[in-house]
A = this chain, B = another copy of it.
Amino acid sequence: MSSETLKIPQATAKRLPLYYRFLKNLHSAGKLRVSSAELSEAVKVDSATIRRDFSYFGALGKKGYGYNVDYLLSFFRKTLDQDELTKVALVGVGNLGTALLNYNFLKNNNTKISVAFDIDEAKIGSTMSGVTIYHMDDMEKVLEELGISIAILTVPAPYAQSITDRLAKANVKGILNFTPARLTVPATMRVHHIDLAVELQSLVYFLKHYGVNEVEEIEE
């Protein structure tokens, strides 16, 4: 099952999709080779960090030359499981949920919102951006039928925890949580938060309290 590759540092793992995207750009632009220095300029990550990141996967480059774009690209495609489509569920089709439905994850990643759930009768049964919206009452059933194990959570905060509990029972393993709620989950689940208000507010804080130009870039 889980390809127990050597454990890559989390910070590195978070940068992989970024590298992959830029490699695709380079490929489309017809570039054949790239150095860590060039890549660094494009993705705004120190070149030594890039080399270190790549090195966890072995020697992918050639000294004095750099990296072969095609080779690197196909390597990352395998590593990031881009060959198989990953199906994701959207729970909560409000403003943000609707925006995510229209957001084309497929374009960059082989990941697709395949189904959505809501409680608004006006939406149920309809399709948006080609995605059918089901009633939340049918969530467990539909998720298991489709074999979905990842959910994007965009419901009002007060419902977040109880819906998470249901997702856990339905064998969902990962949640991308857009609600402000800090979810309690079984140890077998993984939650990534995207907390819009916190992001905005921490930006405000940094601007007011840190000498601007103190630090260059901060990654989420």
**Given A174-B207, A180-B21, A99-B109 contact (CB < 8 Å):** no
Q: A186: shortest Cβ distance to chain B, in Å?
A: 8
**Given A81-B204, A203-B192, A21-B197 contact (CB < 8 Å):** yes
Closest to A207 in B: B174
Q: Mark A196-208, 1 if CB is under 8 A from B, else 0.
A: 1111111111111
Give the interface SS of chain A, mostly helix, strand, loop or mixed.
mixed
Count copies of this chain in the complex.
2
For residue A195, CB closer than 8 A to chain B, the reply is yes
A192 in complex: contacting residue of B4, B5, B173, B202, CB < 8 Å: B202
Interchain CB contact under 8 A, A208 and B103: no
Closest to A8 in B: B209
Q: Provide the bound-state CA to CA distance between A190 and B17, in Å.
A: 23
For residue A212, CB closer than 8 A to chain B, the reply is yes
Contacting B at CB under 8 A, from A9-27, are 10, 13-14, 16-18, 20-21
A206 in complex: contacting residue of B99, B111, B190, CB < 8 Å: B190
Chain B residue numbers with a CB within 8 Å of A198 are 14, 17-18, 21
Interchain CB contact under 8 A, B191 and A217: yes
Interchain CB contact under 8 A, A201 and B109: yes
Q: A173: shortest Cβ distance to chain B, in Å?
A: 5
**Given A17-B205, A80-B205, A103-B95, A212-B199 contact (CB < 8 Å):** no
Residues of A within 8 A of B (CB): 2-5, 7-8, 10, 13-14, 16-18, 20-21, 42-44, 80-81, 86, 88, 95-96, 98-100, 102-103, 105, 108-109, 111, 149-150, 152, 173-174, 176, 180, 182-184, 187-213, 215-220
Top-5 shortest CB links A-B: A17-B201, A99-B99, A95-B99, A187-B213, A95-B102
